[in-house]
Amino acid sequence: MATRRTLRVTHLDSDYRSDRSDLVEGFYIPALAASTHYDRAVGYFSASVLAVLGHGLNDFASRGGQLRVVASPQINQEDVAQIQAGYALRAVLERAALRDLEVACQDPRAARGLGKLGLLVADGRLDIKLAYICAENRIGMYHEKIGVFRDEHDLVAFKGSANETLPGLVGNFESIEVFRSWHPADSERAVRINRDFEELWADRTPLLRVFAFTDAARPFIEECARRTGTTDVPQVPPIDGTVITLPRPDTDGMLTIPADLQVRDYQKQAVQRWFAHGFRGLLRMATGTGKTLTALSAAAQLAKRLKQEVDLPLLTVIVVPYQHLVDQWAQDVERFGITAIRAYESTDSWYRRVSYLLDALALGTARGGVIVTTNSTFGRDVLQPLLARHRGHLMLIGDEVHNLGARQLRGHLPDSAAYRLGLSATPERWFDDVGSAALQEYFGEVVFEMGIGDAIKGGALCRYTYTPVLVELDAEETELYGQVTEKIARTLATQQFADDAEDESPLGRLLRKRANILGHARAKLPALRREISKREHDWFQLLYCAEGRHPLADGINGDLDEPTQLDQALHMVGQELRMPAAKYVSETSREQRRAILRRFSTGDDLQVLLSMRCLDEGVDVPAARTAYLVASSSNPRQFIQRRGRVLRRAPGKDFADIIDFIVVPPEGAEDLHRETERRMVARELSRVAEFARLAENEAATLDILRPLRQRYGLFEI
């Protein structure tokens, strides 16, 4: 294996002058070939110089070389006038620097270099900053010319008249002085020049100001590369051995409705209603009716109108509850012609991309863009300041918008968003009038509604049968249910309203505990075994379990080793009944989730998929034909979402079956007040009534429940 060349053995001279030496062949290419880092501070920098550096830059890039450039844009009289008129200085200087790049692009020789430049930017190996004089109320040009090459042990610093431009290296008469760190006579000056660059890069040089330019230049560089036919950038292996290829840039960043998209009539009507209500409103659309494609169609049509009427770009921000929904939305956005920025998890993975997009929109080098983020990231202090920088048109799409009404999120909804669209099958917040009112005040009223009944009639969802299965609380559960209900009544009596039943308030905790008693009722598992045994040869079965543990397991005398309901159900289905099964929970990684859903959809691998809340919102499982609601609260949002999961259309699927486990007090329960019993049954029956109303077997369902209705006098439900 050949020993890699170092700076010390390149035999560089102490100076280079155009009348007696070749700056490119004699100095730049040998120095690049031996370096791991190249730092350059110069009055002008042009991509065209990369075409001249040729194979020296190729070798530099293949070794993972890092290039840092500080340059000064050339400002003209119009720029000066804008600065004097109060325009943002940074924006003016960025436009001037982009103008310099555009001039350089006119030279055909720049085409080869632009591909290399784009690759270095995409791979994080090239950083560009702009410098300018800012002192005593004057703006001046940074005109210094210094550079530093480094390998693992030594450095070579130089200074002189040459700019980092094509004329500067091959056309003009130039000279540079070179200082090598291993030469005693050069060492001090080499170290000093290197220190000067580091101070400059860190914006610590008096009289000067330095700011980042890479992200602002990126879309322009990629567009120039596309125009000059150099978008097919050669692959270069970075340090870790993987291969990076610069992606082909979007044409203009605008969402465009794909030609093959079949937009249903009701989706067109929803978009028209939203337009007619001033580009604000809520779409109450049942799960499975295409809310995502409807919203993206609205955004695409809005972008087209803005371009025609005012020729202004549009930034679209989509906020979703979970990370897997970010990925699903991003895939759909891809169909509309652009690549969305996925803002979640590590800030390092998206912050710079968002920043460069905002700069590109401000400079007019991008026509639009899409950011898809989670509720959690949206509410953090990292993304919010970035969005505050945007001064153009902003559209906010809230998916499962009811979540944005929570106290910790609704305060972050940007007032600057002139265009607002909320999506949900159930936009109202359960037991939270304040949050519901805040959502309607921000997004506007419900402008279009497509319920499950209409969706079934229209063929967007499949028909279904509904089977309620009655199970009784045991004595311990009955006693605990009565105690918690009394505490809820006392809490409500001391409050004027319930601020948010899902937060960590005393009321929220009590309501969740009472719901958990019903969700974890021990009689459900034997009933489930009976029901699932009837379908032991069927595929595509979903099973919804209660979250956490049985409330009695958390008490002083509780059994903390008692398995969760999900684990007990998984053991019963997978081990006792020998049906291939898997659980799909929050701890399951995204890669595992995708693999599980693929296995489930084949119809010959996994028979049963067990989950808690992870399949409630947004997950596409159209193959599912049977759903067991072992645990489903009286919150309409939850049970409507769960019904929607199993009603999605799929090839060969005409019907779905829903088996719902309804909890009732034991007959003659002594630990419950009669009215408490009645209200418990009423809450459960409200869900039954909603499910039965649209079921194919509505009459049979009502017959099953007739004795219960009669016992508690609940025929009005």
Q: Do 469 and 445 have their domain in common? A: no
The residue segments making up the domain with residue 336 are 265-457
Highest mean pLDDT among 92-101, 295-304, 684-693: 295-304
How far, CA to CA in Å, does 93 sit from each of 17, 107, 353?
32, 23, 20
Q: Do 706 and 573 have their domain in common? A: yes
pLDDT over 50 at 373, yes or no? yes
Q: Indicate whether 448 belongs to any domain.
A: yes
Quick: pLDDT tens for 346-369: 787 788 778 778 877 776 667 889
pLDDT over 80 at 558, yes or no? no
Q: Do 468 and 438 have their domain in common? A: no
Beta carbons of 321 and 374 less than 8 angstroms apart: yes
Here the tokens at position 425 are 């099958």
Residue 618: the pLDDT is 56
Mean pLDDT throughout 421-437?
Answer: 82
At residue 596, φ and ψ (nearest 5 deg) are: -65, -45
User: Three-class SS string for 514-554?
Assistant: HHHHHHCCCCHHHHHHHHHHCCCCCCCEEEECCCCCCHHHH
Beta carbons of 97 and 73 less than 8 angstroms apart: yes
Quick: pLDDT tens for 375-420: 999 988 888 888 888 888 999 999 989 889 888 888 899 999 999 9
Q: Do 591 and 640 have their domain in common? A: yes
Q: What share of the chain is helix, strand, coil (3-state, %, to 5)?
A: 45, 20, 35
Quick: pLDDT tens for 56-114: 566 677 777 888 888 887 766 676 666 666 566 777 777 777 776 666 555 554 545 55
Q: Indicate whether 488 belongs to any domain.
A: no
Q: Do 544 and 442 have their domain in common? A: no
Mean pLDDT throughout 676-693?
Answer: 83
Q: Do 210 and 270 have their domain in common? A: no
Q: Closest by alpha carbon to 105, among 222, 214, 247?
A: 222
Q: Indicate whether 344 belongs to any domain.
A: yes
Distance CA(516)–CA(205), nearest Å, equals: 63
Q: At what angle do helices 110-122 and 55-62 cross, to 10 degrees?
A: 10
How far, CA to CA in Å, does 330 sit from each of 46, 65, 262, 293, 483?
35, 32, 19, 12, 47
Q: From the CA atom positions of the chain, what is the Rg in Å?
A: 33
What are the DSSP E strand ranges found in 37-169? 37-42, 66-71, 126-135, 138-141, 146-150, 155-160
Distance CA(236)–CA(123), nearest Å, equals: 9
Q: Indicate whether 156 belongs to any domain.
A: yes
Helices vs strands, H then E, count in the chain: 26, 22
Residue 249: the pLDDT is 37
Q: Indicate whether 235 belongs to any domain.
A: no
Distance CA(61)–CA(35), nearest Å, equals: 10
Residue 86: the pLDDT is 59
Q: Do 337 and 209 have their domain in common? A: no
Q: How far out from the chain centre does Cα 460 lie? A: 27
Q: Do 324 and 442 have their domain in common? A: yes
State the pairing for strand pair 175-180/155-160: antiparallel
Q: Which of 177, 199, 227 is the last residue of a domain?
A: 227
Highest mean pLDDT among 9-18, 133-142, 537-546, 619-628: 537-546
Model confidence at 250, pLDDT cuts 50, 70, 90, reads very low
| All residues at 6 or more sequence positions from 34 whose CB lies less than 8 Å from its CB, including other chains | 5, 6, 7, 9, 10, 149, 151
How many other CB atoms are there within 10 angstroms of residue 72's CB atom?
25
Q: Do 302 and 436 have their domain in common? A: yes
Look up residue 563 and give its DSSP letter.
P
Residue 102: the pLDDT is 66
> What sections of 541-697 are H helices per DSSP?
565-571, 590-602, 636-647, 674-693
Distance CA(89)–CA(132), nearest Å, equals: 10
At residue 130, φ and ψ (nearest 5 deg) are: -110, 140
Angle at 306 between CA 396 and CA 254, to 5 degrees: 70
Distance CA(422)–CA(401), nearest Å, equals: 5
Residue 481: the pLDDT is 87
Q: Hey, what amino acid is at 447?
A: V
Mean pLDDT throughout 457-481?
Answer: 91
Residue 67: the pLDDT is 87
| All residues at 6 or more sequence positions from 244 whose CB lies less than 8 Å from its CB, including other chains | 119, 122, 123, 235, 236, 238
Could you tell me the CATH number of the domain that includes residue 683? 3.40.50.300
Q: Which of 425, 457, 489 is the last residue of a domain?
A: 457
DSSP, collapsed to helix, strand or coil, labels residue 211 as: strand
Q: Do 306 and 163 have their domain in common? A: no
| All residues at 6 or more sequence positions from 561 whose CB lies less than 8 Å from its CB, including other chains | none
Residue with structure tokens 């489903």?
632
Q: Indicate whether 485 belongs to any domain.
A: no
Distance CA(294)–CA(269), nearest Å, equals: 10
Q: Hey, what amino acid is at 96?
A: A
% pLDDT > 90, the chain: 31
% pLDDT > 70, the chain: 77
Beta carbons of 126 and 67 less than 8 angstroms apart: yes
Residue 119: the pLDDT is 61
At residue 236, φ and ψ (nearest 5 deg) are: -130, 125
Residue 289: the pLDDT is 87
As for how many domains the chain has, the answer is 3
Mean pLDDT throughout 568-572?
Answer: 95
Helix (H) or strand (E) holding 151, with range, is none
Residue 378: the pLDDT is 93
Model confidence at 298, pLDDT cuts 50, 70, 90, reads very high
DSSP, collapsed to helix, strand or coil, labels residue 338 as: coil
How many other CB atoms are there within 10 angstroms of residue 241's CB atom?
6
Q: Do 212 and 343 have their domain in common? A: no
Mean pLDDT of the chain: 80
Q: Do 302 and 450 have their domain in common? A: yes
Residue 673: the pLDDT is 67
Quick: pLDDT tens for 178-210: 999 999 999 999 999 999 999 999 888 888 888
User: Residue 3: is it exposed, middle or buried by C-beta count within 10 angstroms (0-12/13-18/19+)?
Assistant: exposed
Model confidence at 247, pLDDT cuts 50, 70, 90, reads very low
Distance CA(613)–CA(544), nearest Å, equals: 8
Model confidence at 54, pLDDT cuts 50, 70, 90, reads very low
At residue 90, φ and ψ (nearest 5 deg) are: -60, -45
Q: Which of 203, 227, 251 is the last residue of a domain?
A: 227
State the pairing for strand pair 15-17/175-180: antiparallel
Could you tell me the CATH number of the domain that includes residue 139? 3.30.870.10
Q: Indicate whether 500 belongs to any domain.
A: no
Quick: pLDDT tens for 198-243: 999 988 888 888 888 877 777 666 665 555 544 433 333 332 333 3
Beta carbons of 294 and 285 less than 8 angstroms apart: yes
Residue 347: the pLDDT is 80
Q: Indicate whether 175 belongs to any domain.
A: yes
Distance CA(74)–CA(94), nearest Å, equals: 10
Residue 171: the pLDDT is 42
Quick: pLDDT tens for 156-173: 999 886 544 444 444 456
Distance CA(421)–CA(291), nearest Å, equals: 11
